[in-house]
Each structure stands twice: as C-alpha cells, then as structure tokens.
A and B are shown apart, each in its own frame.
Chain A
Amino acid sequence: MFQFVLRRLASAVPTLFIVVTISFFLMRFAPGGPFNLERPLPPATMENLMKAYHLDQPLWNQYLQYLKNAVTGDFGPSYIYKDNTIAELIGKGLPYSVQLGTYALLLALIGGVIVGTLAALRQNSFLDFLVMSVATTGVTVPNFVVGPILTLIFALMLSWVPAGGWGDGSLKFLILPVITLALPQLAVFARLTRGSMIEALHADHIRTARAYGLPQRAVVITHAMRGALLPVVSYLAPCAAALLTGSAVVESIFTIPGVGRYFVLGAINRDYTLVMGTVVLVAIFVIVFNLVVDILYGLLDPRVRHD
C-alpha cells in the first residue's frame, strides 16, 4: 500500500512536467501579451516592461528559467497583479476556495447519495420522477442563472442573507454560494447513485441477503451501498479537484476572494505566470484526488486491492 502511494507520487512528477511544458508553450502561442491593453503603451514603456519581466529573452530561455524557479517553489511575479507573486495570490485565495469547495462537496456528495438511493429504492415512483427531474434541472441550469436567482429571492426579497461577500465566513454568507456550487454536482451524484444502486439491488448477493431475511436497512446500507458507491467514488476525484480549486462564476457572482477567477482572468489578460500557477494547482489537485480515489476503490472493492 505504502509502496503504491510512493509509486504514484513519483509518477506525478513527469505528469506535472508535461502539463507545465504544454501549457507554457500553448499560452505563448496565443496572440497578444500581458501588456497589450486597450490603452496602448508607447514603445519605450513596452521595452522597459519586457525587460523588467524578462520577456525580451528567447522563449526557450524563459522556459528553462521558469522550470528552474518552479522547482524551488518560485512561480514568479504576476504580470497583472503587480504587487503580488503567484505564490502569494494563490496562498491567499486558496483557503477561501477550499473552504467553500469542501462544504459544497460534502453537501453534493451526502445529498446526492441520499437522494439517489431513495430514488433507486422507489424506482419509477412519483418520488423517483420528482428527484430525477430536479436532478436533470440541476445539471442543465447553469450556476450563473441559479446564483442570481437565489440572491434575488433570499437577499433582495426576503433579506435573510447578504447579497455577496465573504463577510466573517459564517453560514449566512456562505449558504448561497455553497448551494449554487453544490447543486449541479449534487445532481450528478444523485443520478450516478440511482443508476448503480438499481443495478446493485438486482445483484445475486443482494438476493441472497434478502433470502436470509436481513432487514431492508442492512441490505441497502451494508451490502448494496458498497457496490453502488464505486461509480460515485470515481467521479469524486474530478469533482473534488474542480470544486476545491474554486469556480470563476460562483466567486464573481458572490464576490468570494478565492482562486477560481485567476484562471479566467489570467488567460484573458495573458498573465502567463498566473495561468501557469493555476494550471499547476489544478494538476496537483487532480493527481492527489485520483490517488485518494484509487485508495478508496481498494477499500470498497476487494478486486482492486493495492499491495
């Protein structure tokens, strides 16, 4: 088990290297640069800026320099947020995104599994149709629609919660962004759980368990759930990586100071180092959560034990 983890972590290094390399060059092939704004800069100013940020050097040099610095944890200064380094920007924003994302993930996972299980147990009943229509709506209605509607109802019409901001990070500030962020994922979890639970309930070992006269509760929770959770767990990795690294849309709708916006802002403004920083961040989260999921898989499914 320990060796398996080590092996996986070691294989993450070349993966990260490839991700960094591809995104470094892709980013540079986009036309324009970090200093081409609506207000054009005079040539002398441009030259000074390119020099100050070493953008006047050959691309190959810049790449090697970036790799060298990145290894030591230095991801460079931001071209756009000039007062900050990339490490500072991500270091300050990440705790907010992770906190918000964790709540959303828990809500989506627990809510989705419960709802999906209930729907599976009452397959083709009114409850099933209701849950699945709500879930389909949850997936199809984008969060830039859900967020403002929730704000209109709960902040403007009912005045129960603030319309935006992180505030003191208490429930009343976070509840709307968490729901907005969780809803589409909750719907996915519910659909996945329902499908695999229906399958699991028809499996031979469940029929055997029923034949032994085990109570419904024990059959579902102890025996069927274990198999039914496998697809849910495999979706957990990309979902957690996406939720914990922030959402540009939800963060800007609710003015949350997280890191989600940096990916979009960085790309639009050609803030090369910021884009690279967020790419590396997301890559690390994906790698780590894939590893976690593989370990969980082993625990749930005896056929995939890692020894």
Chain B
Amino acid sequence: MTFMKLKFGTAVLLGSLLIGACPALAEAVLHRGNSGEPQTLDPSQTSLEIEAFILKDLYEGLTSYDAAGRIVPGAAESWTVSDDGTVYTFKIHDKANWSDGTPVLAEDFVFSMRRVEDPKTAAGYANILYPIKNAEKVNKGELPVDQLGIKAIDAKTLEITLERPTPFFVELLAHQTALPVNKASFEKNGADFIKPGKLVSNGAFELAEHVQNDHLTAVKNPDYWDAANVKLDKVIFYPSEDQAAAVRRFEAGELQLVYNFSADQIERLRASHGDEVRVTAALSTYFYSFDTRIEPFKDVRVRRALSMAIDRDFLSKEIYSGAQLPAYSLIPLGIATYGEPARPDFADWSQLDREDKAIELMKEAGYGEGGKPLNIEIRYNTNPNHERVAIAVADMWKKTFGANVTLLQNDISAHYAYLKEGGKFNAARAGWTADYADAENFLAINLKKNPVFNYGRYDNPEYDALVEKSYNEKDPAARSKIMHEAEAIVLRDQPIAPMMNFGQLWLVSKKVKGWQDNGSNDHLSKYLSVEE
C-alpha cells in the first residue's frame, strides 16, 4: 500500500470519527470494539466468534437471528419441510439482492454449500453442514461435489435434502459457515473475492474498507431487502485484542460497544458505568475432562468424588468475579428447544455435604487417605485465569482427599493437539461453546464415535444409543426428553466435570439502542442504532 492510499484511508477514518461525534451531520455510525482481528472474511474459512459478528453483518444466510438471538427467516422468506423431515424447500426472498444490485439466487446457495464441502476448500467448519445428504462423503473426497443434496428448483427456489431428519437444521443454516458467497464475484476474483472493493455480499452492510489491525468499515447496503429498517449508515469494527486498551477506548468515548474484557474489571466498571456493563450466560461450558482409560479415573466413584469436591461457587466468585457462573450440567441454560438442563444429584447439596460424600466415595474406591495414594496431574492451556482455577482445584483435591496434585500447562495449540491426538492424561481443562443453539451440540462431545472431542474416551453404549435415538425423533418434546436422559447419564458418570458457564462480557454504551442480551451471543448491527 502506498502512503497516499494509506493517508486517504486514514483520512476517511478520521472523517468518520469526527462525523460520529457531530450530530449536525447526522450520519449514524456505530464504533464497535471486536476484541481481535478477523482471520478471514470468507465464510468457508471462518472459525472465530469475532469473525461471525462481522460476517453476519455482511452476509445473510437462508435463516438469520433476531435481536434476541432467535432464529428468523433471512434470505429465505419461507420454507416447507417434507413429512419425513428430510427435504427442505426454501423460497428465497423476492427482494433479496447482492450489494452489486443483482438478485440473490438459489444457485448462489448451491454454489456456496458445495464450495464448503469441497475438500479442496478445506473449510474448517465443513461438519456443520454434514446433515445435508452426502455432505460428509463429498467432504472426504469419496463423492464428487455435485452429489451434495442441494439443488436449485428455479431461480428463487432451493431444495435441500438431508441424510436424516435433523430437528435443528434451520439453526445450522444461520451459522456463519452457511452464509452465501456471490458466485459471479468468486469466479471473477478467485481467492481475492473477500478484498474491499471486490467483496459482493447480501447482508445489511457491505465492506467499504479494511485496514488490518486498525479497523474494518462496513456501510449500509442499499440493495438489502430490509434496508428500510436498517438504522445505521456505517459500522466500524475495531480489532482491539488488548482488552484493557479496548476498555480505555470505551471510557474515552471512542468505542460504543466492547466485547470481552478482563473479569477483574467488572466491579470497577459497574461502579462507574452501571448497566452499560452486561454479563450474560453464554451457551458455553467450562469443564475438566477425566481420562476414563486409566486408573484411577476409570472408576466412576473417583470421578464423581473429584467432581463433588470442586467448589464451583468459589471459582465463580473469587476467580471470575461472577463473570462465569457455577455450573453442574453439561448443557447450559438458554436453549429454547431444550429448556432446563438435567442436574447431577449432588448439585442440590451443600458444599460440605458434597465433600463428606466425596471422601466416602473415594474411600470406597480405595484411594486417598488410608488407601492407595492419589496422584493427579491437571493439564491446562496457558492463561492466567485457567491457572488460577487449576491452583484452586488442586487445593480443593489436596484438602479433601490428601491428593498429590501437580499442574502442567502448555500453550493452547500444544494443549489441544495433545488431547486430540489421544494423549493420556489425568484431568484436563477444556471448554465447549455451542455452534448452534441445540443440546445435541453438547451431547455429541461425549460420543464414542467422536474421539476428537471426547478427550477422555468416554465409552457408554447406553448413552450413545440415546443420542442416536434423539436424531430420529421428530416430536420436539419427546426429543428433548431423550436428550435429558442422555445428559443425566453423563452427569451420573462424570467423564467430564462441568464447572462453569462462560459469561459473555459486553460494554454497551447508553447511546446504543436496540441491544438485547442473548445466550447465543448474536448481535447483528442491523438491529442497533446510535443516539447522540
């Protein structure tokens, strides 16, 4: 980039900052802190939440989210489902247009989803669309891409055939991986199609400028079908990865939204900013996984005892200042189709009772004081908070069982590579955040056939059968019941010890209107406005 261009670009930014501060010029601009630089703007390559915030503003899937994070029609105005639940027919919105003014066609979705499943694309989230017929085989290179169960019936009608009924399929279609790419633009520009000036998108906003690690500007897309209801003229995303710096910019009035900040700031910020500080339970669980392949963690009594001895309230209050909430269930609260999650028996006891019972169980299993020595190594990925949690848990296990606990930390890549590749361990930290708001997404991590996610290699045929059964159950109430039974089994066996639900931390300026906290953490800028 030449300095001329650089200066021009930054002049535009400064200009917009000035305009943002001056009500007379009346351009509505949202300055949105985004806690990191997006690694890609290509829906097939995306993997991060901070990318999803941008992508869902730029593009619109067949389904989308409302301000409360519920699924609503997006580029598809309506759809029908066949009686056996395997064929979905979508009617694409008449007025759905790309930012270059051309209509959004069924063919664009066919092209985009084939591209996601094409092994050459190497899409990180290809498995999100595996419920589509033949998707997994196409993605593994066993079938050609044209065998994917998706076809255009006519210009505006799209038919998707599934492998089997998937009650949460419309949730998946709102995921950032399922966002459409403009076929003509991709064919013309190749890999550069995501660059500013070239990117053609179908969402409420279009890409205007992107200075990496400084800002990304999206302006209102006049060709968007619902443009009349979009109140902002411009959204500027700031990739402030230094959380404290983002908070300072919020306090200086430079940012109106900030996502993620250090939990130890909550008290201070609440005192100065009141309800501009928002903490919402996310669809996300923080847990320790136990290696069920090795002694003594093979023994369900040992796992239960260890889990009971963890004082979740202490972790939540003392380490996270309430930014993470104590959890006993695998599945977090806030999934509409699931309701109240199952709870293990000890969830309702006092911590003292849990400890007494835990000591008893451990004795029965023959470990701890008076029995065989209990040696535990806790593995976690480098992070000051995870370290504090590990130290606290180690202390709880030491005090309760006289266990000899050691800690082992690795950076994030090494930590997860080790677990994924089947490395043996004792207890290991991990977390799971929902890709889509359905309980199945959490249950799947404990399936035997899912060794990548099932770090501790939990193997319970009864559990696997129940989860399998839930896939084929079309009645939502019956399905929810089966999944609750499955969750209860996991909570009884404790192959993982759920400890906390992550809290999403947002700073939302009083000037921002239309904001609604929601567990799925979907906050499309099209619902927001800025008041001066």
Contacts and interface: CB of A to CB of B under 8 A. Distances in A.
Given A81-B40, A82-B39, A155-B252, A44 B414 contact: no
B7 A49 contact: no
Contacts of B417: 31-33, 36
B186 to A, nearest CB: 13
Nearest to B192: A83
B212 A93 contact: yes
A32 B136 CA distance: 25
* Interface of A (DSSP majority class): loop
A220 B11 CA distance: 45
Interface in A121-141: none
Contacts of A40: 416, 419-420, 452-453
B416 A36 contact: yes
A148 B243 CA distance: 12
A198 to B, nearest CB: 41
A111 interface: no
Interface string A156-169: 10010011111111
B10 A148 contact: no
Contacts of B121: 48, 52
- Residue among A163, A256, A261 with most chain B CB within 10 A: A163
Given A44-B140, A163-B248, A257 B211 contact: yes
Contact of B42 (A83, A91, A148): A83
Interface string A232-273: 000000000000000000011111111001000000111000
B240 interface: yes
Interface in A31-86: 31-45, 47-49, 51-53, 80-84
B126 interface: yes
B478 interface: no
- Residue among A89, A155, A256 with most chain B CB within 10 A: A155
Interface stretch (B405-413, B459-467, B519-527): B405-413
Interface residues of B, number: 65
Contact of A151 (B45, B139, B238, B248): B248
Given A156-B248, A251-B213, A255-B242, A164 B254 contact: yes
A255 B213 contact: yes
Interface in A193-234: none
Interface string B112-124: 0000000111111
A45 B40 contact: no
B1 A168 contact: no
A165 B213 contact: no
Interface string A12-47: 000000000000000000111111111111111101
Contact of A81 (B39, B119, B195, B211): B39
Contacts of B131: none
A268 B411 contact: yes
B215 A165 contact: yes
A164 B416 contact: no
Contacts of A8: none
A152 interface: yes
A92 interface: yes
A251 B47 CA distance: 24
A167 B245 contact: no
Contacts of A83: 39-42, 45, 191, 194-195
A32 B411 contact: yes
B37 interface: yes
Contacts of B214: 165-166, 255-257
Interface string B241-267: 110110011011010000000000000
B505 to A, nearest CB: 18
Interface string B410-440: 1111111111100000000011010000000
B155 interface: no
A159 B252 contact: yes
A52 to B, nearest CB: 4
A274 B127 CA distance: 27
A148 B126 contact: no
B244 A148 contact: yes
Given A82-B39, A169-B10, A253-B242, A48 B411 contact: no
B452 A167 contact: no
A281 B238 CA distance: 27
- Residue among A49, A51, A258, A261 with most chain B CB within 10 A: A49
Contacts of A34: 413
Contacts of B17: 167
Contacts of A84: 212
Interface in A97-129: none
- Residue among A44, A51, A89, A253 with most chain B CB within 10 A: A44
Contacts of A148: 244-245, 248
B48 to A, nearest CB: 9
Nearest to B240: A255
B414 A45 contact: no
A253 B243 CA distance: 9
Contacts of B191: 83
B140 A269 contact: no
A251 B1 CA distance: 19
A165 B238 contact: yes
Given A81-B39, A168-B11, A268 B124 contact: no
- Residue among A41, A151, A258, A270 with most chain B CB within 10 A: A41
Contacts of B14: 167-168
A34 B45 CA distance: 14
A20 to B, nearest CB: 22
B47 A37 contact: yes
B58 to A, nearest CB: 13
A30 B413 CA distance: 9
B347 interface: no
Contacts of B140: 44, 47
Nearest to B126: A45
B1 A31 contact: no
A41 B125 CA distance: 8
A30 B414 contact: yes
> Which 7 pairs between the two chains have the least Cβ-Cβ distance?
A32-B413, A52-B122, A257-B214, A32-B417, A257-B213, A36-B417, A31-B414
Given A41-B452, A82-B45, 16 more contacts: A30-B413, A32-B411, A32-B415, A36-B413, A36-B420, A38-B430, A40-B416, A45-B123, A45-B124, A47-B140, A92-B1, A95-B1, A162-B254, A163-B249, A163-B254, A165-B214
Interface of B: 1, 3, 6-7, 10-11, 13-14, 17, 37, 39-42, 45, 47, 119-127, 136, 139-140, 191, 194-195, 211-215, 238-242, 244-245, 248-249, 251-252, 254, 381, 410-420, 430-431, 433, 452-453
7 contacts: A32-B413, A39-B47, A83-B195, A95-B1, A164-B254, A255-B245, A269-B413
